[in-house]
Amino acid sequence: MQNSLSTSAWTATTLSARKYAAAPLGDLWIGSDVNVSGRVSALLDNLAIEEVKGWDIIADYDVSIGDMGTLAFNNTMSIIDTWDQQELEGAPVVDCKGNWGGECGYPTPDFRNNLRATWMTPWDVTVSGYWRHISKVTDLNGNLNLPSINYFDIAGSWDVMDGASIRLGVNNVFDKEPPIAGNAAGPSINGNGNTFPGMYDALGRYMFVGVSVSF
């Protein structure tokens, strides 16, 4: 039996900007005199601030079930404590934790959890189930809130012989449709097709099968 629990706290703050100075005639690149020619001043400047704080909690638990093999559990939990964003110096600080749209853009759910249960059998077969949870996200524009969602995946593999294995599975078993965010979920905030494919399963149920052979 093997058990483990790890916790990590993290904080990230970013600030950056680029200044563009145009020449008197409006050009940006013509000339070489920095006093009169257009130029790019790529220096860090305190124009925008994004401060993120949160926790990651990871737990592992393995247990033997005798002649039936081993059960292994892994749980990864992410909690956002702070997600403050300031677009410009002197502008109001916007709380983006659990929000999307407006100044926040891409959804920032304040709670996510992934749990995997794996059965390693004595017959060279491994079967696993995976639960993915994303908490609800509020639209700062007051239009379309994104509800919490749960996905369930199953997968299995069989080591047919030395150097050969078969794997198959189904992601999003219950064919959950992604939350609809409308036209506001555009490319400028990594949205596409009225949703956020990087966050949610945009294509619904997905089945796969593969064969691996090594020499």
Residue 172: how many other CB atoms lie within 10 Å: 20
Secondary structure (3-state) at 183 = helix
Please compute the mean of the pLDDT values over residues 194-202 and round it to a whole number. 94
Question: Do residues 136 and 146 lie in contact, with contact meaning Cβ atoms separated by under 8 Å?
Answer: yes
Question: Do residues 193 and 181 lie in contact, with contact meaning Cβ atoms separated by under 8 Å?
Answer: no
Look at the pTM and tell me if it is higher than 0.85: no
- In 3D, which of 197, 192, 189, 200 has the Cα closest to residue 101? 189
Question: Do residues 183 and 194 lie in contact, with contact meaning Cβ atoms separated by under 8 Å?
Answer: yes
What are the Cα distances from residue 7, in Å, to 10, 53, 60?
A: 10, 14, 12
pLDDT band at 180 (very low <50, low <70, confident <90, very high): very high
Residue 20 has pLDDT above 90, yes or no: no
Confidence at residue 4, expressed as pLDDT on a 0 to 100 scale:
73
Please compute the mean of the pLDDT values over residues 125-149 and round it to a whole number. 96
